[in-house]
Structure 1
Amino acid sequence: MREAVHAATLAELVDKGYAALTVEGVAQRAGVHKTTVYRRWKDRESLLVDALAEHLAVDVPVPDTGTIEGDLRALARSLVQSYTSPTGRAVLAAMFTGAAGLPEIAAAGGHVFRDRLTRAEPVVRRAVERGELPAGTDPGEVLKTLAAPVYLRLLVTGDPVDETTADQAARVTLAAALAGAFVPR
């Protein structure tokens, strides 16, 4: 039931946007009664927060290609693919437009992004262990640098975002990491 309601929540978000998202619409789409939804989630905000957190937590798998170059490229491409899909665009719109002013959504967004960084940190740690990156390289800073150009284009400039963007972000991040830019001084 939880998966069906999460899927229905994201589908409603894609089809109608945050402003028109209702618990009743989600329940109808999920094929459950609205009281079933309200037993688990107190309101649409808590439902949306839970659905977004679940979606974002599993949406970007952590690669293990055997090289830091391959892993960074795979991470960046996965991020681009995730946020250029209809669901990804709806998630971004909810998190950074109408719903962004809600403390629950802001907190969930911060939690989700921190969780994504934490999940991907083994990519950098493995590279340090293999000797591909300098000892002491800060995994979080590497990953933030990798994601920054993608989010800048998606949320600020509106420039196209594609695999070329992902590959360039990976190359720039790798060059900076190899130069020791993410080793605390």
Structure 2
Amino acid sequence: MELASSDPVRPVGRGRKAQAAVRAATLAELLDRGYADLTVEGVAQRAGVHKTTVYRRWKNRESLVVDALAEHFATDIPIPDTGSVEGDLRALAQALVQSMTSPVGRAVQTAMLSDAGRLPEIAEARRGVLADRFRRAEPVVARAVERGELPADTDPAALFRTLAAPVYFRLLISADQVAEGAENAEDAEGVADETVRVALAAARAGALARARPVTDGEQA
């Protein structure tokens, strides 16, 4: 999804095209103004639709933001299959970096760190996204185990958390400047390579093993 321009646009009418324009405009307004200053009127003007068109589908600002973010979260992310666990993890890490540094990704992060992040619907959508990311890591780990690249008890969710955590820290906490675009690909690859090295080292050392059930004998 591309962010809507702040320049005047022609009316887009109704239907799916209008809905897509409204969602894109919502993310753009989140990035430019933040959740506190976002208004339905501002979104409608940016999208090139009348505000009644917005209210026909979304009852208020909260439902509009939730829908725009949910649509973004629902975007399919291909499961990499490069032939090696290192290549697969690098592809996942690069996709995460690119997503977070794109205009849409920055808008989503702005919303998550604002009052909008406390809306129950957005919190639920965020949990759903994390669960989906964990599921997508499962075939990557399964293939790596079959090739003998990772221990058999490697936990896919733990591996993805270890892969993603340094990316989130660098881009959200320490605020490293990794810009979008081909001219900044080297910076993005550097962040991805660093996090892959950490995740692989932990997994190969057995630090990311699935929790082993405690038996009755051990409890005694």
- Cα distance, 1:27–1:61 mapped onto 2, change above 3 Å: farther
Opposite residue 84 of structure 1, the aligned amino acid is T
Q: Which residue of 1 aligns with 2:75?
A: 58
- Whether 2:160 is the aligned partner of 1:134: answer no
- Whether 2:140 is the aligned partner of 1:123: answer yes
Larger radius of gyration: 2
Q: Which residue of 1 aligns with 2:21?
A: 4
Q: Given the two structures, how large is their TM-score scaled by the length of structure 1?
A: 0.86
Q: Which moved more, 1:49-58 or 1:162-171?
A: 49-58
Select which of 155, 160, 164 maps to 1:143.
160
- Whether 2:193 is the aligned partner of 1:167: answer yes
Q: Which residue of 2 aligns with 1:14?
A: 31
What is the 5 A alignment of 1:50-129?
Answer: 50-58=67-75, 60-129=77-146
Show CA shifts across 1:98-154 (max 9, x none). Answer: 322333332322222222332343222222233322223211110011000011122
**Gaps spanning 5+ residues in structure 1: where?**
none
Cα RMSD (Å) of the superposition? 2.2
**Alpha-carbon distance between aligned partners in 2 of 1:104 and 1:39, rounded to the nearest angstrom:** 20
For these two proteins, the number of residue pairs brought into alignment is 185
- Cα distance, 1:114–1:142 mapped onto 2, change above 3 Å: same
**Alpha-carbon distance between aligned partners in 2 of 1:16 and 1:58, rounded to the nearest angstrom:** 24
- Cα distance, 1:66–1:14 mapped onto 2, change above 3 Å: same
Show CA shifts across 1:58-116 (max 9, x none). Answer: 27443221211001011111111111223222211110123223333323222222223
* % identical aligned pairs: 69
Q: Which residue of 1 aligns with 2:207?
A: 181
Higher relative contact order (CA 8 A, sep 6+): 1
**Alpha-carbon distance between aligned partners in 1 of 2:54 and 2:132, rounded to the nearest angstrom:** 26
